[in-house]
Amino acid sequence: MKYFLSLCTTGLIMGVIYALMALGLTLIFSILRVINFAHGEFYMLGGYAAYYILGTFTGLHPLLAVPVAGLIAALIGLAFELVFLRPIHQDRIERPDEYAVLVTFGLSFFVMNLALAVFGPYPHRPPSFFEGAVNLGIVRVSADRLTASALSLILLGLLLLVINKTWVGKALRAVSQDKDAAAVVGINQLSMNTTAFALGAGLAGVAGALLAPSFSVTPDVGAVPSTRSYVIIVLGGMGSIPGSILGGVLIGLVESLGAGYFPDPSRALNYKTVFGLVIFALVLLFRPTGLFGREES
Amino acid sequence: MTVNIPSTTEPRPRSGKSAKRRFWFRTDLVVALVALVITLLVPLFVQTYWLHVLIVAYFYAILASSWSLLAGYGGQFSFGHMAFMAIGGYTSGLLGRFVNLPPLPGILLGTLAAGLAGWAIGALCLRFKASYLALFTIAFSEILRTLIRGETQITRGDHGLHVAPLFGEGVISRIPYYYTMLAVLVACLLFMYWLANSRVGMFLRAVREDEEAAAARGVNIVHYKVLAFVITSMIAGLAGGFFAHYITILTPNIMIIPQMGLVIAMAIIGGVESLISAAFGGMIIQIGLEVLREFGAWRMVIFGGLLVITLRFARNGLLAPLFQRLFGLGPRAELREEATTDGA
């Protein structure tokens, strides 16, 4: 029982961070109707940003690099949206659905190779937020991961507040529910698109910066978290904000419990991601709309 | 370099203009024959190193053109093409390692295994919008790679799985391998060209243009999408099998996402709506990677940038419009007819 509870705790701690990253993907999808196949690369850029900020300003507390890294990722996302995605919504692109899949994948390919050329293949690790580990009674967790998780939780709360209570949040929800009706009441869809994409990219960047001290950064570091985010948004229901949060936590639990009870501990870590694929397949088989999904038009 | 086949994405005109069409068909045939003769004679003039580059280039040409069959004709995006290739290669390699199966039956079983995996994934995902296939295949590809990397007892992981050479250990010359890969490429292109212009190809294009209209006309859209996915996955598996028995060592790195990105860049830069342009895209970029060797990692940055720019500003690719001008080949029939008036 104690083992089970300790696995649940570590699962929840990671799940909150997964949820943060998946929420970025969901925001982008619900507003732009585009799956951002470069989401992992914004995560990676956030990690490198944190590393180089802390390398340049050595006196800075590592936590202060996180918002700046998020901002940098958001700015890159903003520029990409303006140049490559805005034309979709101005009807300047043939076959917009196909274009959206390919151009975000193309961005991922370009950015990953750019990172390889500029930063090299070797892992970079920014300094820890706090050294050591914290004893939670049933399990010891590294202070870095606990910090990352706590900050993710706060950020998730803030985002929910913004989405539910502010004008921008209402406007975003309006666009996600009905583009035309939103336009009628004077919401500029194009600027909402840009806002959502920049916000989503920024969230991936923050997640990358938060986990960089724990897992280091390499050019391909985004592959696993982005794959996981795809599973989460399908599980939660494409475009559903509560779905991506619950999905993130569930995947965190499944990975932790699955790896913890795997018969062969030496191979357990490899199978961690396999559980995600199994869940993906099960959702498609039995509940294609996901936990909170609505029927796609 | 290989056969030049007019790959129309639009149905051929049924009547009229037959004289013009016959004329262009002959031009295509001449170009195709010249290209075939050149590729057949290449081994007489180039060194072993460049023969190797060309073998790899043909391998990528098969992958890029089969990816473009699914994407450019069917409008479906698989990010798992390299995973199916790896299934072909690893199946044959593992059967050779554990039950001493010779290469050719191994390649056959590898191709079937890739088709089986393609069928399972296609049946699961193709009932939904195209983005689900893209999402599932990218996840499948990454997770299969993690598994192959992790199961070192079976696959030897990053140390590499040794695979028997196709023509036995005694053959050092690359010439047999060159002709084999060329033959596989030509056979795959001819088969895909036939398929694209058959009923299946027509249905696929109809589904891509307007899924609901096609369904209303009685096309069982899921069935044809799955069929196309299985076939392209099998072609990837076949290419993987032959490639594995040529390079004789397999590591999970052949299926990393940047490799998939490279194949997509080849198909898109070549011209995704034309099989032959995508094949040439594969060859030219692979040769380009060798020529630009001194640029190191920046080569992939160049091709990545070119991919994004091509997508945004030249949806027909960069090679397809060029071929259209030069030989009257390519996707747009009406442009070809315009060309005839120039006496080209």
A294 vs A214: CA distance, rounded Å: 36
For chain A, percent of residues with pLDDT exceeding 70: 99
Cβ within 8 Å, pair A35-B311: no
Please report residues of B whose CB lies closer than 8 A to that of A105. Answer: 77, 79, 134, 261, 264
Averaged pLDDT for residues B99-106: 88
Please report residues of A whose CB lies closer than 8 A to that of B143. Answer: 227, 273-274, 276-277
Averaged pLDDT for residues B130-158: 86
Taking the Cβ of residue A287 and every Cβ of chain B, the question of whether any pair is shorter than 8 Å is answered with: no
Can you give the pLDDT at residue B328?
A: 61
In A, minimum Cα distance to B298 occurs at: A117
Å between B35 CA and nearest CA of chain A: 31
B135 closest CB neighbour out of A109, A230, A285: A230
A284 closest CB neighbour out of B77, B132, B311: B132
Of the candidates B103, B121, B122, which has an alpha carbon nearest to the alpha carbon of residue B111?
B103
Whether B263 is covered by a domain: the verdict is no
Whether B182 is covered by a domain: the verdict is yes
Å between B266 CA and nearest CA of chain A: 12
- Is this prediction's ipTM beyond 0.95? no
Residue B216 pLDDT grade (very low, low, confident, very high; cuts 50, 70, 90): confident
Taking the Cβ of residue A242 and every Cβ of chain B, the question of whether any pair is shorter than 8 Å is answered with: no
Å between B59 CA and nearest CA of chain A: 21
User: Each residue of B135-146: pLDDT tens digit?
Assistant: 889 989 988 988
User: Each residue of A248-284: pLDDT tens digit?
Assistant: 999 999 988 888 888 877 777 778 888 888 888 888 8
Whether B37 is covered by a domain: the verdict is no
Cβ within 8 Å, pair B134-A117: no
Cβ within 8 Å, pair A101-B131: yes
Averaged pLDDT for residues B329-337: 45
Whether B95 is covered by a domain: the verdict is yes
Residue B125's domain comprises 45-255
User: Each residue of A178-221: pLDDT tens digit?
Assistant: 888 888 888 888 888 899 999 999 999 999 999 988 888 999 89
How far, CA to CA in Å, does B42 sit from each of A223, B2, B45, B287? 40, 11, 6, 14
Mutant choice from A109, A231, A244, A270 vs B, greatest count of B C-beta within 10 A: A109
Decide which of B339 and B93 is more confident: B93
Can you give the pLDDT at residue A294?
A: 65
A101 closest CB neighbour out of B134, B146, B262: B134
Taking the Cβ of residue A234 and every Cβ of chain B, the question of whether any pair is shorter than 8 Å is answered with: yes
In B, minimum Cα distance to A278 occurs at: B140
Whether B141 is covered by a domain: the verdict is yes
Whether B284 is covered by a domain: the verdict is no
CA distance between the termini of chain B: 21
Chain A, 209 to 228: residues with Cβ < 8 Å from chain B are: 220, 223-224, 227
User: Each residue of A48-62: pLDDT tens digit?
Assistant: 999 999 888 888 888
Structure tokens at A83: 């140049």
Chain A with chain B: Cβ pairs closer than 8 A: 136
User: Each residue of A88-124: pLDDT tens digit?
Assistant: 888 888 888 888 889 999 999 999 999 999 998 999 9
Structural domain count of chain B: 1
User: Each residue of B172-211: pLDDT tens digit?
Assistant: 788 889 999 999 999 999 899 888 888 888 888 887 877 7
Residue A135 has pLDDT above 90, yes or no: no
DSSP tally for chain B: helices H, then strands E: 15, 2
Cβ within 8 Å, pair B308-A276: no
Whether B129 is covered by a domain: the verdict is yes
Average pLDDT value for chain B? 82
A258 vs A271: CA distance, rounded Å: 8
User: Each residue of B25-82: pLDDT tens digit?
Assistant: 556 677 778 888 888 888 888 888 889 999 999 999 999 999 999 888 888 899 999 9
B91 vs B111: CA distance, rounded Å: 9
Residue A2 has pLDDT above 90, yes or no: no
Whether B273 is covered by a domain: the verdict is no
Residue B336 pLDDT grade (very low, low, confident, very high; cuts 50, 70, 90): very low
Rg from Cα positions in chain A: 19
Helix A39-56 to helix A189-215 angle (10° resolution) is 60
Assign 3-class secondary structure to B236-304.
HHHHHHHHHHHHCEECHHHHCHHHHHHHHHHHHHHCCCCHHHHHHHHHHHHHHHHHCHHHCCHHHHHHH
Å between A71 CA and nearest CA of chain B: 24
A280 closest CB neighbour out of B75, B129, B136: B136
Can you give the pLDDT at residue B263?
A: 93
Cβ within 8 Å, pair B131-A97: yes
CA distance between the termini of chain A: 45
In A, minimum Cα distance to B312 occurs at: A84
Averaged pLDDT for residues A236-251: 89
| pTM for this model (two decimals) | 0.87
B307: helix, strand or coil: helix
Burial class (CB in 10 A: 0-12, 13-18, 19+), B332: middle
If residue A34 lies in a helix (H) or strand (E), which one and from where to where? Answer: none
